[in-house]
Structures are given as structure tokens and as C-alpha cells.
Amino acid sequence: MNFYSDRRSYWALFFVVSLLVGCGDDAVRPPPAELQSFEPQIELDRVWKNSFGDGQDEQFLQFAPLLAGGTLYDLEYDGEIYAIDLESGDDLWDVDLDEPLVGGVGGDTQQVFVTTFDGELVALNAVDGAELWRKAISAEVMAPATLFLDTVIVQTVDGKLAGYDRNDGEPKWEYRSTEPALTLRGTSRPTVFQDAVITGMSNGAVVAVSARNGQLFWEQKIAVPKGKTELERLVDVDGGVLLSDDAIYAVAYQGQLSRLNLFNGKPVWSIPVSSRTAPTAGFTNIYVSTIEGDVVAYDRETQTEIWKQSDLAYRELTAPVVWGNYIVVGDLEGYIHVLSQVDGAFVARIQPASEYIAVAPVIYDNKLIVTGSDGSVSAWEIR
């Protein structure tokens, strides 16, 4: 059973794989929690707002934007790619590839890279959007490409990591993992440390391979399939890994939050946590948005739970983002929730999008940049 060949929306797929494990075949995911009122402690002002087409066009994919050289690069499912000035929010250029796009945007100030639904890696000039080259790859890419020197690195949904020459798209190396029968529709975004590409795989492992030739350095499982059905045995490191303080932090769906040695992948500690998004670090904590909709802070040294905010249950939260003294998450109704890093209490709430915020906001010059699945993008600052 493989959901990659099924072109149903991500939302429908995620609903299927989010059945409550162990509660019987007729268990369903509970409805999202109703938002509770609170007394705001800070106020947010919108600096600018823009919009790019139809956004995800109800595909419920995670289109992560690229911030490079004061420019935000983003795309919509139908094929348009946009460059927006991060200071003013004004359009710089847009191009239409006239074919569905997935996976978000990667690159730098010279080139940006996008991937098509039909499995092509496309390079564009970052200054004007002119197409430079395209190359067929083995399958869909559901996360942005990562650039290392002259190599473009992508992870495909069929369990491959591959490097391509940034100048002409010619293949340079490939690493292949063993894929389970059932996975979430998504992939971890590769992260480069020195000359190692570190990423999570759909089989519940974190791997490090050479960014120069794809040779495997090490592999470490952080989730082991359990149960009788394929759904119960589903494990997937889907949200990317975090590199912080000479350690790797990764979390798996129906798995664990693990701290791994940066150089050999050996576990330092692990605790049971299920998530489809990446962890983040702030103060002395590691923050996670769980599959149940909790935002939890763990001490990064002792793995002790510091606090848990449970009032956003089943609201399909983004990965948490550290913004000064605060933690920010987006949800399925277009809300941004701002929490205190100290105790997880709500300090502010805004609704910058009319639809699902599928991708975590990003920070630029102390401003919060929010992209919604409706094609909206806006910048916010603390008053």
C-alpha cells in the first residue's frame, strides 16, 4: 500500500494516517479544539501584505519559501513562482512554468530551485526568474532543495537522496534507503553540516551521507514500527532535523524525540513523542508540536518536560518557531498563536490567512513572515 500514487489532497491523506493508533478500526481523529479567549500581553502590527495567485489550490501541501538576500521566493501549485521584496512586500518578478509544482523553493541569491509534480528539478535565475535548466528526477520532491557549494541536494518520496550539479543539473551521486509500505506524503528537508547531509527518512531513521559523493556515514533509527497493521506500523521522520549545540534533534511520527551525537548519530537521549514537524530550540529548551496538537517544551540536556500547552489540540499545528522571547505556531484555520517561551501561555493571536497555514513562519529582520495556503504572505512586528 503506497499513498504516493494517490493524488488525493494532503489533508485527506493526513486524516487517514492520523487515526488514533490502538483504538480500533473505527477510531477517528477528534475535531480541532475551539479557541479560548485570553488577555493579550503584546500586540502585533502588520508591516505589509501581498498575495500570489491561488497558493496551494486546496492541495494541502507544505510549500516552504526561500529567504535569500532580502528577497522571499515562493510558489503556487499551478506553476507560478514569485520573488517579493522583504522590506516593502512589493513584487520583484514572477514566472509561470504552467505545470503543477510541489516541494517549496530552495537555493541562494544566484539560483532558485523548484520541483514539478511530474518529477523534474528546475533551476531559475534568482534575479529575474529566467529558466536555466531542468532535469528529470526519480520521483516527487516534497521538501525544498538544499544547496551545498555546487551541488543541489533533493530528497524524493521514493526514499532517495541525490545530488545534482548546480550549473547544468547533471547527476553527481545518489543514496537510497529502504522504504516502508506506507508513509506520510512528505519528506524531510536535507540539512548540511560541514560535508555531511543529514536528514530523516520514511523508515524512521536519521542518516548522514557525504555531500560530495553520497557515501553513508551513519544511520540511526529513532522510531521502530510496532503493531499489526500498516497504519499502526507507520513511522516517518517527516519534518526535518534540528542542528543545535553540537547535537541533532529529530522527532518521528509514532516514534520518539531524540537527541543524537552530531558526529556519529549515537543517541544521547530519547523520549516518546509523535510529530510530523521539525523541533526547534530556544532558551535552554527544545520545542515540539505534537501530532495531538500540544506544544511542548523539553529541557535539551535532561529531556525533562518544562511545560505543555494543550489548548490547540488537533488544530494541525506547524512546527514551532522561536521569535525573540516567544514561540509561534500556525494552524488549520489561518491563525498564528504566539506563546511565551517561559511557560507556554498565550500572549497574542492573529489570523493573517483565510486558509490553513501549512508551513511554519520564518523570521526576517525581527519580523514574522507568514505564508498561507491561500497564497497570502504578510510581515508582522511586535508593537
- CA atoms 299, 302, 307, 308: torsion sign: positive
Helix (H) / strand (E) element for 377: namely strand 376-382
Amino acid at the residue 202: S
Helix (H) / strand (E) element for 320: namely none
pLDDT reported for residue 19: 35
First vs last C-alpha separation in the chain: 51
Q: Considering the chain, what is the average pLDDT of its residues?
A: 86
- Delimit the domains of the chain by residue range: 38-382
Q: What is the DSSP string of 106-163?
A: EE-SSEEEEEETTSEEEEEETTT--EEEEEE-SS-B-S--EEETTEEEEEBTTSEEEE
* Listed range (25-39, 133-147, 289-303, 364-378) with the worst mean pLDDT: 25-39
pLDDT reported for residue 187: 62
Nearest to residue 109, comparing CAs of 142, 72, 54? Answer: 72
- CA atoms 216, 220, 223, 225: torsion sign: positive
pLDDT reported for residue 239: 74
> Rounded mean pLDDT of 126-143?
91
Pair 335, 294: CB distance under 8 Å: no
d(CA 29, CA 316): 11
- pLDDT at 257 exceeding the cut of 90: yes
173 CB neighbour count, 10 Å cutoff? 18
pLDDT tens-digit map of 10-27: 333 444 443 333 333 344
pLDDT tens-digit map of 220-251: 988 655 545 545 444 556 778 999 988 999 99
Nearest to residue 119, comparing CAs of 75, 147, 158? Answer: 158
pLDDT tens-digit map of 80-133: 999 999 999 999 999 999 999 988 899 999 999 999 988 899 999 999 999 999
In the 3-class helix/strand/coil scheme, how is 219-283 assigned residue by residue? Answer: EEECCCCCCCCCCCCCCECCCCCEEECCEEEEECECEEEEEEECCCCCEEEEEEECCCCCCEEEC
Tell me the CATH number of domain 38-382, given options 3.40.50.460, 2.30.42.10, 2.130.10.10, 3.40.1160.10.
2.130.10.10
